[in-house]
Structure 1
Amino acid sequence: MLVPSRRRLRIEVWIVLGLSLGQSAVYSVVQLLDKMSRAPLAQGTSTLNRPQSTREYFDLTYQLLDIVFALVPVLLVIYFLTDQRQPASGGKESHSAFRKLGFNFARPGVDLLQGLGLAALIGIPSLGLYAAGRALGITTAIIPSALDSYWWTVPVLILSAVRHAVVEEVIVVGYLLNRFGKLGWSVPLAVFASSMLRGSYHLYQGFGPFIGNAVMGVVFALIYTRTRRVMPLVIAHAVLDMVAFVGFSLFGKAIGLG
């Protein structure tokens, strides 16, 4: 098996980030500067799930297309992380990236319990941090969903939550920590870089969400370094976003998670 050089790995990482959350981080910084140059952050708003058409079924189509294409970089990292080794007998032996990342259903009960526990651990303090950020004027008003009420709104919001969870945890935690390790980075440096990236693509919501998501990134990355399983993180993140997106859509109350 050919081992990728460090230069090739660096290029690979930049390509993945440029197609996914690195791009989001750049846009987030620009959006933050745009909001700050217009008015105090406390007067700004951040809408997470926006309608893309006034026509119901075109809006549904756009929403589903966004979800599907957002997952393409995840497929790319799965491809990069899957080793193709040549066994002595000929042919190819695939070493699954799903198993390498712990992104599978090998232990569904344990993963579910850990995910729900993490969601509670992260979710409750996040509400307090959001309230504090609003009081200090460093966080925008967060609107988890502005979608109109259709029969498909709740299912699409659930799919959106799962999409965000899969993209962020697989790329920012599983993939990056794997690649940073192969690049010779220490665990503290890799965890710091991963958590700063997570915080940076939430900057469009203000400095409070940046801090909260960076702390969440440290917790998730440290857990991953011990368990080597990304599935509990995906479950926790999906639950947090489902509560925020669907809860806001059904009850019209900003919960402040994204």
Structure 2
Amino acid sequence: MPPRTDAPARRLRTEVWIVLGLSLGQSGVYAVVNIIARLTAEAPLRQQTTALNPSRSPRPYLDLTYQLLNIGFALVPVALALFLLSEPGRRATSRIGLTFSRPWRDLAVGVGLAALIGVPGLGVYALGRALGITVEVQAATLDQYWWTVPVLILAALKNALLEEVIAAGYLIERLEQLGWRPASVVAASSLLRGSYHLYQGIGPGLANVAMGVVFAEYYRRRRRTMPLVLAHTLIDVVAFVGYSLLPESVLRTLGLT
């Protein structure tokens, strides 16, 4: 466990609430409200849908502009978290292992984690749809333009950086500085991750809690977010780009549409 800083605990707690309130914590609150609204709607969850990467304008280049702005501004809390974690003589990226110092090892771990999480995740989604506790998730509803696939890849990278830097690196570092026990740290990180996925239904929320436990424990032991970012990016790229490229009949067979 890293040594405590000289900053008062109250200041650190306030900082954590501010960072979460500007990023994943805010998303979590909205997702909780969203799942309550879905559960109390007339239509059951199995008949409801959600789109992860919707089109934002019928005009192609205006749509592209909105997509890029959304990605760029979503990364501002990441920059804030890294700024707050930085110390004299030590960059925050080095502190949380967001570096390219061991690319092949990180890539191998990332691919392994992606397979460990991604394959069972698809099964959990299918099971959730069958049980009626998961909405129909449309991973990408963008029209097919020359920029569609690059934007989906950037969106996957954005999600990975936002979630792994804040939910894993930043939050775990700060909670440990506040003296939290390892089990409590892992629980907080994983429950946060599950909360902001509840808009997809109860199934994805629980699946992401499980993913959060694996990722949080890995970070707690290894102090590296780069493999987590690679794994998360790979999972989302397969979901987003695969969804946009697969024929409708295949998507229907997989229960994705």
Q: TM-score range by the shorter chain?
A: over 0.9
What's the CA shift for 1:256? Answer: 7.9
Count of aligned pairs: 247
What's the CA shift for 1:33? Answer: 1.5
Counterpart of 2:23? Answer: 20
Counterpart of 1:151? Answer: 146
- The one-letter code sitting in structure 1 at the alignment partner of 2:146 is W
TM-score, structure 1 normalization? 0.93
Counterpart of 2:213? Answer: 218
Q: How far apart, in 1, do the equivalents of 2:59 and 2:103 lie?
A: 39
Q: Deviations over 1:74-119 (max 9, x none)?
A: 00011000012xxxxxxxxx31110000001010000000000100
Counterpart of 1:44? Answer: 48
Counterpart of 1:61? Answer: 65
Q: How far apart, in 2, do the equivalents of 1:171 and 1:37 lie?
A: 31
Counterpart of 1:248? Answer: 243
* Residue 193 (1) aligns with residue 188 (2): yes
Which consecutive segments of 4 or more residues in structure 1 shift more than 4 A?
254-257
Counterpart of 1:76? Answer: 80
Q: How far apart, in 1, do the equivalents of 2:54 and 2:255 lie?
A: 15
What's the CA shift for 1:240? Answer: 0.2
What's the CA shift for 1:3? Answer: 2.1
Q: What is the RMSD computed on CA atoms of the aligned residues? A: 1.3
- The one-letter code sitting in structure 1 at the alignment partner of 2:149 is V
SS of alignment partner, residue 50 of structure 2: strand
> Residues 97, 37 of structure 1: CA spacing in aligned structure 2 closer, same or farther, 3 A cutoff?
same
TM-score, structure 2 normalization? 0.94
- What are the residue-to-residue correspondences of 1:97-108 with 2, within 5 Å? 97-108=92-103
Contiguous gaps of at least 5 residues in structure 2: none
Identity %: 57
- The one-letter code sitting in structure 2 at the alignment partner of 1:25 is G
Q: How far apart, in 1, do the equivalents of 2:58 and 2:36 lie?
A: 29
Q: How far apart, in 1, do the equivalents of 2:243 and 2:255 lie?
A: 9
